[in-house]
Structure 1
């Protein structure tokens, strides 16, 4: 019985040693990666992108009896890179406009680069027609038209690349969401209050 136990123990010990070594390596690797990530964070001190819609105007925003929306929306916005040590490349930049949760406009924009602390002006424009679904959207349209302002959402999507010194790396996808209250088109908007600059939310 004793001989059998010793034999089993001899067979198991190498496996235990291997498992213990693997655990030690994995723990050491996790700690090293964690310390490296912390060091990079302290060195780079990354900060969130900031975005503001400076102006928004509607030359046309009309809903037909068949629920077809005819629109002409112009927006100017400022996107800022508040980081002092990280430059940002914006690729595949797309601007989207939606009303009552339904997208009605799309505008591709040129890729651009922002150095540290830089700000970039963008001016997406949306023109065309789009069918709106549902009676709720039509009811909201009539109510907001009477109130003199339309609630429109403008989103900006982009793929980011990060630059630190001479190093470049792929970053996250950024989504900038702007909820706007835009005066109805002129001349109906003659008595309406002007558009107020609006801060946007940034998501990764």
Structure 2
């Protein structure tokens, strides 16, 4: 009875049966593609075993860091960073590299860096220098600045942004944008009660 009903339905509306068959075929193809892509991704993962790059702020020093009554920040900050590629089969190209310095979530410094290539199991040292003046917004920032100056250490964030290209054997493909965030405690210039700078592990995201 069911077969007869389907046959009658197809005779009455052949387009409906064609659409159902086409939809079923497309679903089968889509499932096959997804499964194949998943298996291929799993195979590539076990072959290359990609690992996250690591970053460390090795040193940070303030030659000048002062705030005028008009909330203009005058700064001279030097930061040395090390990036490490732990992968054994993947090389990395860093393009459009830029370093930025923040105080209380307000950007005050910018230093573009040269593009570079990082081979497998390689480490790269980078030096970012920030010098100039920048107007800070808000009375709270000024109050916090005075408190940290009294305490002897400033809480400064240094970010590193770069566009990545991935090298696998002779192939180069575009990778994600990398963002390195370093939360630093930097001794205030001339402070006798400052805590020495300690090398700091940075957060790496994409």
Distance 1:11 1:124 in 2: 67
Distance 1:170 1:20 in 2: 35
2:111 is equivalent to residue 75 of structure 1: no
Secondary structure in structure 2 of the residue aligned to 1:14: helix
- Give the equivalent residue in structure 2 for 1:64: 68
**Distance apart, 1:37 and its partner CA:** 1.1
Relative distance call for 1:2 and 1:68 in structure 2 (3 A) is closer
Asked if the contact 2:151/2:193 (under 8 Å) is kept, the reply is no
Secondary structure in structure 2 of the residue aligned to 1:66: coil
Pick aligned residue for 1:164 from 165, 168, 171: 168
Distance 2:84 2:7 in 1: 75
The aligned runs of 1:45-194 (5 Å cut-off) are 45-186=49-190, 189-194=191-196
Q: How many residues align?
A: 202
Pick aligned residue for 1:37 from 36, 41, 47: 41
Q: Where do 5+ consecutive residues of structure 1 fail to align? A: none
Distance 1:3 1:16 in 2: 14
**Distance apart, 1:2 and its partner CA:** 11
- Give the equivalent residue in structure 2 for 1:200: 202
Secondary structure in structure 2 of the residue aligned to 1:40: helix
**Distance apart, 1:4 and its partner CA:** 6.6
Structure 2 length-normalised TM: 0.94
Q: Where do 5+ consecutive residues of structure 2 fail to align? A: none
Residue-by-residue CA offset, 1:97-132 (whole Å, 9 max, x unaligned): 010000000000000010000000000000000000
**Distance apart, 1:45 and its partner CA:** 0.4
Pick aligned residue for 1:20 from 18, 24, 34: 24
Asked if the contact 2:166/2:175 (under 8 Å) is kept, the reply is yes
Secondary structure in structure 2 of the residue aligned to 1:124: strand
Which deviates the most, 113-122 or 34-43?
34-43
Relative distance call for 1:167 and 1:6 in structure 2 (3 A) is closer
Asked if the contact 2:10/2:17 (under 8 Å) is kept, the reply is no
Structure 1 length-normalised TM: 0.95
Secondary structure in structure 2 of the residue aligned to 1:70: strand
